[in-house]
């Protein structure tokens, strides 16, 4: 049986761990409020932009702009993977990496080469360990980003697509649905095409932006596409960064809450063990005293 000192040290250690997990839960909660507000303000704009570009692209020939040109014989695929820089957020990063690997393996089975552009150290480290070609973006992951961070990533993909280094481009990110649900989403970026059912994830479906609307465009379609298509890609990447940031804080908040509860359970069991050990020690001492008294008689 463990000594009283050992059990007391374990209780103290678990108590300090509980203080850390509780503090991290409070920090994630504070950060989540800001991140959730940002994505809720930006999501309607991104969804409407997506809807409008899909309508515009469907009404014009793919030869109008090079970013619309599909390449049936394309052999190279680019995947922008957005993950967090830090762990301690449950299976958040694992789910994102699994979704990206599923897409990568599917494309490899079709005989295509796959190259990753990773935003976030967790995704970069996992992809490199698996032997994929990985180019980390120059941004600091989700630690500190703005629209220029998304623009840099978008410009890299656009330049590679126009240079025919990439024939397809996809974005893998975590969509923030609610506090308890963050869904990995795979979004096709290039070439521009009509989205498949469910491609945008649950939040987009719940927002009511799936209806058809007749738009009147001015000036000509070619001029509009030349201006809007590059901006569209950057907007979608930025939306992925905002969604993933909110999802990360929600996942870490839930993970730290579970860790805090587990610490409470461990402390209770260790306290019970401490009391049992203390009672056994007292009983042993009493037996020794009684035995000594009987011996003296």
Is the CB of residue 230 less than 8 Å from the CB of residue 158? yes
- Is 89 marked active-site? yes
Non-local CB neighbours of 187 within 8 Å, separated by 6+ positions: 170, 171, 172, 173, 199, 200, 236, 240
Question: Buried b / exposed e across 230-243, counting CB within 10 Å, b at 16+?
Answer: bebbbbbbbbbbbb
Cα separation of 133 and 117, whole Å?
9
> Regarding beta strands 168-178 and 181-190, do their DSSP bridges make them parallel or antiparallel, or are they unpaired?
antiparallel
Q: Give the pair of three-digit tokens for residue 294.
A: 């009987």
Q: What stretch of H or E contains 184?
A: strand 181-190
Catalytic residue among 89, 118, 134, 263: 89
Catalytic center residues: 89
């Amino acid at each position: 049986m463990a000594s009283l000192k050992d059990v007391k040290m374990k209780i103290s250690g678990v108590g300090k761990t509980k203080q850390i997990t509780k503090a991290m839960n409070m920090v994630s909660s504070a950060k989540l409020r800001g991140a959730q507000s940002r994505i809720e303000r930006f999501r309607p704009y991104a969804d409407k932009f997506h809807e409008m570009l899909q309508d515009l692209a469907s009404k014009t020939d793919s030869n109008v702009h090079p970013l619309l040109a599909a390449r049936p014989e394309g052999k190279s695929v680019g995947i922008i993977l957005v993950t967090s820089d830090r762990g301690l957020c449950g299976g958040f990063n694992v789910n994102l990496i699994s979704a990206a690997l599923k897409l990568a393996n599917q494309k490899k089975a079709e005989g295509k080469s796959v190259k990753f552009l990773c935003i976030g150290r967790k995704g970069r480290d996992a992809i490199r360990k698996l032997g994929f070609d990985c180019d980390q973006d120059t941004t600091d992951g989700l630690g500190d980003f703005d629209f220029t961070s998304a623009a840099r990533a978008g410009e890299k993909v656009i330049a590679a697509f126009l240079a025919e280094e990439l024939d397809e481009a996809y974005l893998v990110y975590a969509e923030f649905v609610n506090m308890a649900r963050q869904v990995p989403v795979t979004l096709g970026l290039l070439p521009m095409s009509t989205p498949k059912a469910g491609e945008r994830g649950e939040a987009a479906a719940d927002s009511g932006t799936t209806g058809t609307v007749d738009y009147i465009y001015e000036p000509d379609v070619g001029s509009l596409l030349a201006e809007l298509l590059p901006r569209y890609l950057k907007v979608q990447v930025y939306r992925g960064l905002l969604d993933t940031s909110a999802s990360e804080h929600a996942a870490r908040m839930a993970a730290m809450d579970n860790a805090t509860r587990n610490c409470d359970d461990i402390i209770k069991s260790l306290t019970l063990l401490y009391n049992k050990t203390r009672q056994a020690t007292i009983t042993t001492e009493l037996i020794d005293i009684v035995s000594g008294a009987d011996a003296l008689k």
